[in-house]
Amino acid sequence: MKPVIESSIRPLGTDSDQRRRFLFHHLPLALASALLLLVFMTVPLFDVGAYGHRDIMSGAFPQARGDGGPMGHGAARGGEHDGAQTRLRDHGGDHAGRTSHSGHRPPGVRPPAEPESTAHAGRDAGSRHGGSNTETQDQRADSSLSRRVQQFTVATGYLGVVFLALTLLLGPANLLLRRRNPVSSYLRRDVGIWTAIFSLAHVVAAVLVHVSHGSSVTSSVVHFFVTEDGRPLTNSFGIGNWTGLAASVIVLGLLATSSDVALRKLKAAPWKWLQRLTYALLALVILHAFFYGAFLRMASPFTLLLVLSIIAVVVGQSAGFWVWRRRRLV
């Protein structure tokens, strides 16, 4: 009997578990991630610049761009369309397209030096010289890099959404298929790890949009949240970033408790309670997308992916709850 007892209480996280997880969880997830990332980065349908600009600077809620000019607020503010504002708009392109703005420079963002003018400024200069192209090779390369980083920011954000939805669908799927639904499963935890990987990559890439244009990491991060005088940003851009920060904190907490060691230390009930913060994470992701104007770009495949993910989670969780309640009543 002793060998049987020892086998039944074998510690979690043995070498065989790790090999199995790598071959049947992490390797397929990595390959699927690479394929989706390639599609999101290269297929023209997913070009984040193809679905119009949105104003996330002038109010607490995102707005459709007006008809008065390139900023949506008339030519009177056109002179304030500098490179720093463009970089904020680029990050605002998260969730399926670059956003526009009120034309006011966000508090705390300094205009770049003249030699660091963006592609938009270069086109203006070209028009003043009879339409000739005055961009230097370095400026064009810098603009191309910015677009790639922007595209990567959006792509990683939506990959995080896909994996988050999958994490929340695994439990209901087990119930509907009459499978065992344990407190913790390696598959659910491993999908959660990939959710965290792409969520954090999304955050880092958003900061790099600013750093690549000469800002320091500290100033880039600060300008996402506060004005020059230290007040919290309360426009749509700021609220979107605050919700994103809260989501990032939850992601880090879930990642830190996703190990076998954490499960053994915390015990099943407290550990499961912490894992239920995944529902709060989904709510914050939806708010983050909303304040970045995602739902104003319904033609975008990224927005369609977001909406389908939300619907799938709501339907799956509802069905799972119904099955669970029915079994409890029997």
User: Which of 130, 124, 90, 87 has the alpha carbon at shortest distance from 109?
Assistant: 87
Answer whether residue 102 shows pLDDT above 60: no
| pLDDT-wise least confident of 96-110, 149-163, 187-201, 303-317 | 96-110
Could you report the per-residue pLDDT of 8-30, keeping only the tens digit for each? 334 444 455 889 999 999 999 99
> What pLDDT, on the 0 to 100 scale, is given for residue 328?
85
Proportion of the chain above pLDDT 90, given as a percent: 54
The highest-confidence range among 140-144, 172-176, 192-196, 259-263, by mean pLDDT, is: 192-196
Residue 87 to residue 84: CA distance in whole angstroms = 5
| Higher per-residue pLDDT: 213 or 13 | 213
Residue 46 to residue 252: CA distance in whole angstroms = 28
Residue 284 to residue 299: CA distance in whole angstroms = 23
Angle among Cα 202, 173, 187 to the nearest 5 degrees reads: 55
The highest-confidence range among 43-52, 98-107, 110-119, 131-140, by mean pLDDT, is: 43-52
- pLDDT band, residue 66 (cuts 50/70/90): low
Which residues on neighbouring strands pair with residue 55, listed in sequence order?
63, 100
**Exposed / middle / buried, residue 170 (Cβ in 10 Å: 0-12, 13-18, 19+):** middle
User: Which of 54, 50, 120, 48 has the alpha carbon at shortest distance from 84?
Assistant: 120
| pLDDT-wise least confident of 112-126, 264-278, 294-308 | 112-126
| pLDDT-wise least confident of 80-94, 160-174, 312-326 | 80-94
* Contact of 8 with 126, CB cutoff 8 Å: no
Domain ranges of the chain: 17-330
Dmax (CA) of the chain: 91
The stretch 292-317 carries a mean pLDDT of 97
Q: Which two tokens stand for residue 184?
A: 């913790």
Taking the CB of residue 17, how many other CB atoms lie within 10 A of it? Answer: 14
Residue 240 to residue 296: CA distance in whole angstroms = 14
Residue 17 to residue 49: CA distance in whole angstroms = 44
User: Which alpha helices (H) appear in 212-235, and where do they start and end?
Assistant: 217-222
Proportion of the chain above pLDDT 70, given as a percent: 73
DSSP for 271-316?
HHHHHTHHHHHHHHHHHHHHHTTGGG-TTSHHHHHHHHHHHHHHHH
| pLDDT-wise least confident of 44-48, 66-70, 301-305 | 66-70
Mean pLDDT, all residues of the chain: 79
User: Which of 287, 271, 323 has the alpha carbon at shortest distance from 61?
Assistant: 287
Helix 277-291, helix 236-256: angle, nearest 10? 160
- pLDDT band, residue 314 (cuts 50/70/90): very high
What Cα–Cα distance (Å) separates residue 208 from each residue in 89, 105, 197, 330? 14, 19, 16, 55
Answer whether residue 287 shows pLDDT above 60: yes
Residue 164 to residue 196: CA distance in whole angstroms = 9
pTM value is: 0.77
| pLDDT-wise least confident of 131-135, 167-171, 321-325 | 131-135
> What pLDDT, on the 0 to 100 scale, is given for residue 133?
54
